[in-house]
Amino acid sequence: MFKISKNVFLLSLVSFFNDIASEMIYPIVPIFLTTVLGAPVAAVGLIEGIAESTSSLMKIVSGWLSDKFQKRKPFVVLGYSLSTLSKILIGLAYAWPWVLFSRFIDRFGKGTRTAARDALITEFSEKENRAAAFGFHRALDTFGAAAGPLIGIFLLGILDNNYRSVFFIASLPCIFAIFFLLWVKDASAQKTNSSPSVTIKDINPSFKIFLFINIIFALGNSSDAFLILRSHNLGLSVSLTVLAYVLFNLTYAVFSYPLGIISDKIGIKKVLLAGFLLFALVYFLFGLANASFYVWILFPLYGIHMALNEGLSKAYLSLLVPRQIIGTAYGIFQAVIGVCTFFASLFAGLLWSFFNPAAPFIYGGILALISALLFVILEKRIRRPAT
């Protein structure tokens, strides 16, 4: 009834295995840096800042190049291959600059593949099922993100906290991911009607409106690390906080595909608006909560918000931009939102430190309400291009 193309299915499997690998090691890399390599905490911040900045920049570059050459798969293969290599490099590290290099390689790979991969999902899904396609991909991706930390913790237990062994083992799911990429077709394999040249200068003004709304939203949407810190601040132990975060990922994964199907039926605009409003509610309640009990309600609600927003934003964006420049559009959108998230996290840290732990969430909830209001006011001006 809601057919998922072979390409979308394979790309979803690729993301599933890659996210297992990434989330197996992501929570333990800071511990490895500080306890095994003796790196200062400032070095951890430097490493992650450089890594994420690299990812944001490369999304624009690779998206533009994939449009220019109308080839997506080479960028996807290169990106996932670099991420595989990075797991092995971290396992070989004996000084924190080597970890910096490894994380740079990993995020360079992520930036290289992301826009091109999303363009492939767009090109191998019908407009009437676009939200379902992105929802399905997001569901498998997030199932991998939920399984990864659990596998990592299990491996640390049976390997007596041998971090290097976990890093090497994490490369195996990445190899599975690359294996499935062998059967992914490139966009050039499709029969497309010839069309006049389209450049980024010709981009639909609706893209700019949607980007502006999401910039306002992103400036209040700080790193999920603050949700974890708030959970611990409300009284959850470290282990229970991790379990609550896993519950968030599972909820996110379970709801992504069904909400994508619903979006295709009732319209993505309505579902995105619900996502803005639900985020505002969750953030306000995280700010006002006075007991750890609320975390077990709010994390699943936050997972539903992510299912309403993350993949569906990409599906909606694909309806606003001609296919010839979709990679560039994805790259610009994701890079700009990434930069805004950095500033949102910086501001959230200041609010937490100089006011109180509730302040970042009240601030984020207010900006989400403003975004919802702007979406209601401006959505009538958003139009699909002729492609």
Please state, in angstroms and rounded to a whole number, the distance separating the CA atoms of residues 56 and 59. Answer: 5
pLDDT for residue 194? 41
pLDDT for residue 168? 95
pTM of the model: 0.78
Instruction: Give ∠ CA 95-339-219 in degrees, rounded to 5.
Output: 125
Q: What is the mean pLDDT of residues 77-93?
A: 94
pLDDT for residue 368? 95
CATH architecture for residues 1-186: Up-down Bundle (1.20)
Question: What is the per-residue pLDDT across 345-371, written as a single tens digit (0 to 9) for each?
Answer: 788 888 888 888 899 899 999 999 999
CATH number corresponding to 196-387? 1.20.1250.20
Supply φ then ψ for residue 125, to 5 degrees.
Answer: -140, 145
Q: What is the mean pLDDT of residues 220-239?
A: 80
**Mean of the per-residue pLDDT values for the chain?**
85
Q: What is the mean pLDDT of residues 214-237?
A: 84
Please state, in angstroms and rounded to a whole number, the distance separating the CA atoms of residues 5 and 10. Answer: 9
User: With bands split at pLDDT 50, 70 and 90, how would you rate the model's confidence at 152?
Assistant: confident
Name the strand (E) or helix (H) holding 333: helix 326-354
pLDDT for residue 331? 87
Domain ranges for the chain, please list them: 1-186, 196-387
Check if 1-186 and 196-387 are the same fold.
yes
Question: What is the per-residue pLDDT across 284-342, written as a single tens digit (0 to 9) for each?
Answer: 999 999 888 898 999 999 999 988 887 788 888 888 888 778 888 888 888 888 888 87
